Structure 1
Amino acid sequence: MSTHYSPCLDLGGLLRVAGGGVLISFSGLFVKLAHVGPSQSAFYRMFLGGVALLFVALARRERLRARRGVWAVMVAAAVFFALDLECWHRSILLIGPGLATIIGNFQVFFIAIAGAVLLRERLSVRHMAAIPLALAGLWWLLGVSPAELLPVAADGGLAVGDALAGVAYGFATALFYTGFILLLRHSQGMGGMLTPVANMALVSLVCAALIGAGILARGGAFAIGDAPSLGYLVTYGILCQAAGWALLSTGLPRLPASLAGLVMVVQPALAFVWDILLFDRPTDGWGMAGAGLSLFAIWLGLSGASGGSGGSGARVCRPGDLEAAPDAVAAGESPSGADRDSDAA
């Protein structure tokens, strides 16, 4: 999580992060509603979102040329993002957007572990407490009253194999997203780096090219069978990938870690709510408790990414309060990986 310098609450940053989280929370719904395969929905999300971000970067006259080393890191990040989306979309179709999104957000723990192992960063007390809590919440979601919580096959039997495969894809999503975030952070810290919007525009388009190549290699097609699916995919790319990511990338650096982590939990929480309301996901009291425990653990992990909570001040910033603070966004600081898809998300 980025460092927050202001002694007051940046209301603009708060609204951007909340808005970005709300937009990205709809990602899984569009994947499930569009009548295309998981790879095709991933391709259209990245292609359409990348084009939209590219137009924003061009309108702002942001530089799009980067050194060869920066390009190499961006391409590697795109490879991990492509694998992340391939796994996440399959997880959504198997276990629903709510649970798939919650498991995918376990990336906050993998990032913390990777930082401790690879970068010798100290694992915070919050992270160490959050990991077992998250696993306990997931156990409640999957292990308690399986007749109600696991997907039901067409013949009325439990689709246990699909559920386990969906969970496995969810954890793979979190692992690949961890690699993507670490590489994206590295690209934003290199000399000659691009702005966050330009950087993500190019990563999105490279990612779309990689997913598209995979579709062609498997003999797949890009056809969209009906008008509603086209509308869902266009909305998915522009609203969730482009708009959601842009809001998060400009809002996260302006908030303290603890507050940003709390606000970001709106994304997996709402994804779970949409799954219940729109797709009639069967969830009893134990399931709700498990989801709540997992979300609480995710918040602990997000807010534990920074040692201090400085800046959570009691009052909203006035116009002159932020003039002396470093402009993290203008400096090209990227989000900490708190967003699941930008999911973004």
Structure 2
Amino acid sequence: MHQRALPSQITRAGRYAFPALILSNIFLALGPWMVRLADVGPVAAGFWRLALAIPFLLLLMRAGGKSQVRPDRAILILIVISGLFFAGDLAAWHYGIVRTKLANATLFGNCSSFLFAIYGFIVMRALPRPMQAAAFALAAVGTALMLGGSYELSARNFAGDLFALLAGFFYALYLIVIDRARKTLAPMPVLALATTAATLPLLLFALLLGETVMPTDWTPLVLLALGSQVAGQGLLVYAMGYLNPVVVGITLLMQPAVTALIGWLAYDEGFSATDLVGALLICVALVLIRLPGRAAEPA
């Protein structure tokens, strides 16, 4: 377990937490694009995302010093549990993507953002302040505007919608457990151990579903591993050690905006004026959530 940092060290490290959180969401939003480009099954893509990332995460963990790689037994169990939740999230999310519209999957999958923010209010044992409530509402409206034009509720999409909703629930549980682990452990050991714990279950899921596991083109999977897992999850787990869950939960809602922008640039998917308004509302929410009590943030 890493040694306790001095308050001045925590302040300096926490100064970069919110920019790191923003950058992590950009990397994570690139994930669905790489899954679409991969020539393996969607759950198998999740397996390779983790398996290919493990060597890099272990190197980063070792670079942090030997004192950071020995969590106690209780924390180790907690991180393994988080890995199982993460495996469930990736399996359900990737399985649901191909069985419903992308907008539906994004909408239901992002229920984790609201659940994690609500968890933050419960942990703080306080109702949201006016500025927090305004940010929460703006982010919700912005997300609804961006997805409302392409969202479609129908019996054909029902199974995919349920899997996307299940993925959001699993991801919220993963974030809650990671938040607990980050109170006593550095980010790279947490992420490396959680990633390792999630890898084998994802492989088993892919095999049970009869998916193609071995790729012929490794490029999308390597980019998925380095972008979404090493950079995206790495920056997210780092930021969670300094920011409260309310800030993290609301900031996660910027992913649909980035995903829509990628769809517009890479696939010429429509990006309407309504989408632009929704994206701007999410940006305003990110500003508002950082205004109150900023001096006290890092936690």
TM over 0.5: yes
Query: Matched residue pairs, number?
Result: 288
- Higher helix residue share: 2
Alpha-carbon distance change, 59 to 180 in structure 1, aligned in 2, over 3 angstroms: same
Alpha-carbon distance between aligned partners in 2 of 1:234 and 1:257, rounded to the nearest angstrom: 30
- What's 1:320 paired with? none
Alpha-carbon distance change, 142 to 223 in structure 1, aligned in 2, over 3 angstroms: same
Alpha-carbon distance change, 311 to 33 in structure 1, aligned in 2, over 3 angstroms: same
Residue 179 of structure 1, CA deviation: 0.6
Alpha-carbon distance change, 215 to 252 in structure 1, aligned in 2, over 3 angstroms: closer
- What's 1:308 paired with? 293
- What's 1:207 paired with? 198
Q: Which residue identity lines up with residue 188 of structure 2 in the other structure? A: V
Alpha-carbon distance between aligned partners in 2 of 1:297 and 1:101, rounded to the nearest angstrom: 20
2:38 corresponds to 1:34? yes
Alpha-carbon distance between aligned partners in 1 of 2:246 and 2:72, rounded to the nearest angstrom: 35
- What's 2:232 paired with? 244
Alpha-carbon distance change, 132 to 22 in structure 1, aligned in 2, over 3 angstroms: closer
- What's 1:175 paired with? 169
Please give the secondary structure, in 2, of the residue aligned with 1:36: coil
- What TM-score comes out, normalization by structure 1 length? 0.67
Alpha-carbon distance change, 179 to 254 in structure 1, aligned in 2, over 3 angstroms: closer
Q: Which aligned pairs between 1:235-314 and structure 2 lie closer than 5 A?
A: 235-250=223-238, 267-293=255-281, 295-296=282-283, 299=286, 303=289, 308-310=293-295
Please give the secondary structure, in 1, of the residue aligned with 2:74: helix
Q: Which residue identity lines up with residue 86 of structure 2 in the other structure? A: F
Alpha-carbon distance between aligned partners in 2 of 1:60 and 1:223, rounded to the nearest angstrom: 33
Alpha-carbon distance between aligned partners in 2 of 1:102 and 1:42, rounded to the nearest angstrom: 20
- What's 1:78 paired with? 83
Alpha-carbon distance change, 239 to 134 in structure 1, aligned in 2, over 3 angstroms: closer
Residue 45 of structure 1, CA deviation: 0.8
Alpha-carbon distance change, 171 to 132 in structure 1, aligned in 2, over 3 angstroms: farther
| Structure 2: unaligned runs, 5 residues or longer | 1-6
2:83 corresponds to 1:110? no
Alpha-carbon distance between aligned partners in 1 of 2:113 and 2:96, rounded to the nearest angstrom: 18
- 1:100-158 C-alpha deviation (Å, 9 max, x unpaired): 456544423212323445x47213134544555555445544555xxxx258xxxxxxx
Paired residues of 2:146 and 2:274 also in contact (CA < 8 A): yes
Paired residues of 1:20 and 1:248 also in contact (CA < 8 A): yes
Alpha-carbon distance change, 219 to 21 in structure 1, aligned in 2, over 3 angstroms: closer
Alpha-carbon distance between aligned partners in 1 of 2:18 and 2:135, rounded to the nearest angstrom: 24
Residue 241 of structure 1, CA deviation: 0.7
Please give the secondary structure, in 2, of the residue aligned with 1:57: helix
Q: Which residue identity lines up with residue 42 of structure 1 in the other structure? A: G
- What's 1:319 paired with? none
Alpha-carbon distance between aligned partners in 2 of 1:254 and 1:112, rounded to the nearest angstrom: 15
Q: State which structure, 1 or 2, has the greater radius of gyration over its C-alpha atoms.
A: 1
Q: Which residue identity lines up with residue 239 of structure 1 in the other structure? A: G
- What's 1:23 paired with? 27
Q: Which residue identity lines up with residue 25 of structure 1 in the other structure? A: A
Please give the secondary structure, in 2, of the residue aligned with 1:310: helix
Alpha-carbon distance change, 26 to 309 in structure 1, aligned in 2, over 3 angstroms: same
Residue 55 of structure 1, CA deviation: 1.8
- 1:23-74 C-alpha deviation (Å, 9 max, x unpaired): 3331111011112222101111111122210122123333433332222211
From 195, 199, 202, give the equivalent of 2:186.
Answer: 195
Residue 205 of structure 1, CA deviation: 1.0
Alpha-carbon distance between aligned partners in 1 of 2:284 and 2:157, rounded to the nearest angstrom: 22
- 1:179-232 C-alpha deviation (Å, 9 max, x unpaired): 11111122233xxx54210111011011011211223344545221x22xx110
Please give the secondary structure, in 2, of the residue aligned with 1:281: coil
From 101, 106, 113, give the equivalent of 1:95.
Answer: 101
Alpha-carbon distance between aligned partners in 2 of 1:283 and 1:161, rounded to the nearest angstrom: 26
